[in-house]
Amino acid sequence: MNKRLKTLAASLIPAILLSGCAATGKVSGKTYKDQLAEQYSDDNFQIVSDGEFDYIGFTSDKLGDKTFHVFQRDGRTETDYLEKLYRNDIDNWITDISYEDYACTSVSRVQWFAKDTPIEDISLEDYINDYVWFMGIYIYYDEIPSDEELTDYTIEFFRDIDTPCQVTVYIYSTRESHEDLTVTLEATADSAGHIESVSISRQETIYESEI
């Protein structure tokens, strides 16, 4: 290698190293805090962890003592802030629709999972439609309906939620018996929110006791 090429190579090494740092360098908590404040201007944010992990932890006035995180994934900035913010609203929404569409005696519990979002002001409706991918519902009946009735209830349920996701409904009887019937209903919807499949399984558990 002649002298000119050696000089050129030497000058390129720092530039390559610096460009690599710029592409993968860590963004500070203050940068994320500023982005959060810009998108969610009706909330106030506090940094609770910065630099210890691959994410930065925050609290906010609206979330109280709940911690949420901001992190980098595949070159994108994402957060679970809206999952914490909308938690109660979506719990109540799923519960209300379950009572209405499944005509059940009680709803004991609901759960749901959602993808993380960019730091953007996303409405509750858009969040449900675009990010919630699973719902689990635990319901009770005095008399468990037939498979045909449950399928009809599920069709109505998907019309109301109008979102592409997986739904599993765990169905139990309120009646005390030595034979406990558990019905599991699984359904999926396409990107337009239309049902693709419904499967129902019934399992009887017989309890035996020694005298």
| 38-71 residue pLDDT tens | 999 999 999 998 766 678 999 999 999 999 999 9
For the sheet with 45-49, list strands across it.
45-49, 55-60, 68-73, 76-79
Query: CA-based Rg of the chain, rounded to a whole angstrom?
Result: 25
What is the structure's pLDDT at 15?
A: 37
Choice between 70 and 191, residue whose per-residue pLDDT is larger: 70
Tell whether 97 and 46 lie within a shared domain: no
Residue 211 located in a structural domain: no
Domain that includes residue 21, residue range: 3-84
Tell whether 111 and 196 lie within a shared domain: yes
Residue with tokens 């911690």: 67
Q: Phi/psi at 160 (nearest 5 deg)?
A: -80, -40
Residues 6+ apart with CB under 8 A from 200: 147, 150, 151, 183, 184, 185, 186
Asked which of 7-21, 49-63, 165-179 is least confident by mean pLDDT, the reply is: 7-21
Residue with tokens 């709803």: 107
3-class secondary structure, 57: strand
Q: Is the pLDDT of residue 73 over 60?
A: yes
pTM of the model: 0.78
Residue with tokens 């035996």: 208
What is the structure's pLDDT at 117?
A: 98
pLDDT-based confidence at residue 29 (cuts at 50, 70, 90): confident
Show the tokens assigned to 41. Answer: 């201007």
Residue 57 located in a structural domain: yes
Residue with tokens 């999972």: 113
Choice between 19 and 201, residue whose per-residue pLDDT is larger: 201
